[in-house]
Structure 1
Amino acid sequence: MISYLKGIVAAIQKVTPNRLILTLEVNGIGYDLQIPQRLANQLSDAGEIVQVFTFYQLRDEIPLLYGFSSPAERDLFRHLLSVSGIGASLAIALIDTVELAELVQAIIASNINILIQAPGIGKKTAERICLELKSKLIEWRKSAGFFVATGGPAPGILEEVQMTLFALGYTAQEVSHALHTISEDIGLPKNAYVEDWIKQAIAYLSKSELESYKH
């Protein structure tokens, strides 16, 4: 119905901790769109002109409009909504968990540990998402232009590394970024010891936290 809207950012409101509303002024009309935190982080102060890709939903006879930073993000949202038991809030929570390509890869590879980091997603729900979407996303990923990430630990040790770092309080986004960064910058072999991956990841994350604190 509405593919995208291009207009001026009028306001971004946090209605609840997990619900962000972007008010976008288009030709004198203000549209309220629910958006992921990821998109909100990309937007600057009010007055910025942006293009937002939209998804229209009619729920209980109430029209709802959702906004995304790209067609691929919107289309993945649609795929997630097709899974039984997954509503808009859970779909947006998943999109905010890790980068889009990594979320797609996690579903295809049945990496439950990544999916359960999203608020409200339990193990059974994560397993259902992988079961219902794996084959669909393998085909869709090609047309969407996603490629399999080559950095990070080998699949056989990835789970243990992730679970250790999650237990230390790091988010899925932080862990994913750290593993790929140390893979590229340090050149740690994919089959290095689990302890080596964890040690390097903690060092990188601690350094990042220190730099953020200074700024």
Structure 2
Amino acid sequence: MIGRLSGILLEKTPPHVLLDVHGVGYECEVSMSTFYALPAVGEKLVLLTQFIVREDAQLLYGFGTERERATFRQLLKVNGVGPKMALAILSGLSVDELIQTVAMQDTAMLTRVPGVGKKTAERLLLELKDKFTVGLIMPAAPQSAEGDVLSALVGLGYQEREALAAVKLLPADVTLADGIRLALKSLTKR
């Protein structure tokens, strides 16, 4: 299996990139979030990869971060989701947006991605619901009090979806104590 490539970026045409690794050109498909973060042609590039072998093709997919590759792999485990659809989902939503969409069970957000219909979106939400919450692809540690407020609410027994909705209503510069107080207040009003 090819897990990582390091070389010189020769070409970039969405969604394909051509990477020269010691004289061998590897063609990879990348998500749009990885594509927009690519350096200029002729510069050094490191991509984490997923190599997929089918009856009729051998395909290489490249990712700028481990989180994105792990999310891609998780998406491939969902019934009816192939590499093209998984890449389209990662092109339409960032990893954090996907995690939040799954936590909120937001079908509408997923159906905005080209190629994802209502039934596929529902299946994705159902099958990924427990995968993201058990820590397989959790977002990076939050830098604001909002992440601590979310953890506190979940620790108090609120569902993650309810807690996320309450945290979204908080002001951006809220302190931890005020954030918990305001979030609890909004949760009790429901």
> TM-score band (shorter)?
0.7 to 0.9
Equivalent of 2:123, from 109, 112, 128? 128
1:182-197 pair list within 5 angstroms: 184=172
CA RMSD of aligned residues (A): 3.1
Rounded Cα–Cα distance in structure 2 between residues aligned with 1:57 and 1:3: 11
1:90 and 1:121 in contact (8 A); partners too: yes
2:6 aligned residue: 6
TM-score by length of 2: 0.72
Equivalent of 2:47, from 29, 48, 52? 52
TM-score by length of 1: 0.64
Displacement of 1:49 after TM fit?
Answer: 0.6
Rounded Cα–Cα distance in structure 2 between residues aligned with 1:6 and 1:105: 32
Residue 26 of structure 2 corresponds to residue 38 of structure 1 = no
**Deviations 1:127-178 (Å, cap 9, x if unpaired)?**
1001112112222346x55457949xxx78x99xxxxxxxxxxxxxxxxxxx
Displacement of 1:105 after TM fit?
Answer: 2.3
1:103 aligned residue: 98
Structure 1 counterpart of 2:2, one-letter code? I
Q: Determine what percentage of the aligned residue pairs are the same residue.
A: 33
1:204 aligned residue: none
Structure 2 counterpart of 1:36, one-letter code? S
Structure 2 counterpart of 1:12, one-letter code? K
Rounded Cα–Cα distance in structure 2 between residues aligned with 1:107 and 1:76: 12
Equivalent of 1:70, from 49, 65, 72? 65
Rounded Cα–Cα distance in structure 1 between residues aligned with 2:172 and 2:8: 38
Displacement of 1:98 after TM fit?
Answer: 2.5
Displacement of 1:37 after TM fit?
Answer: 1.1
Unaligned ranges ≥5, structure 1: 15-19, 160-179, 192-215
- SS in structure 2 opposite 1:8? strand
1:169 aligned residue: none
1:141 and 1:147 in contact (8 A); partners too: no
Mean Cα deviation higher: 108-117 or 68-77: 108-117
Structure 1 counterpart of 2:45, one-letter code? V
- SS in structure 2 opposite 1:184? coil
Structure 1 counterpart of 2:43, one-letter code? E
Rounded Cα–Cα distance in structure 1 between residues aligned with 2:24 and 2:103: 40
2:7 and 2:46 in contact (8 A); partners too: yes
2:28 and 2:61 in contact (8 A); partners too: yes
Q: How many equivalent pairs are there?
A: 162
Equivalent of 2:89, from 90, 94, 111? 94
1:167-178 pair list within 5 angstroms: none
Using a 3 Å threshold, how does the CA distance of structure 1 residues 113 and 147 change in structure 2: closer, same or farther?
A: farther
Rounded Cα–Cα distance in structure 2 between residues aligned with 1:147 and 1:94: 23
List 4+ stretches of structure 1 deviating above 6 A.
Answer: none
Structure 1 counterpart of 2:100, one-letter code? Q
Displacement of 1:63 after TM fit?
Answer: 0.9
2:39 and 2:45 in contact (8 A); partners too: no
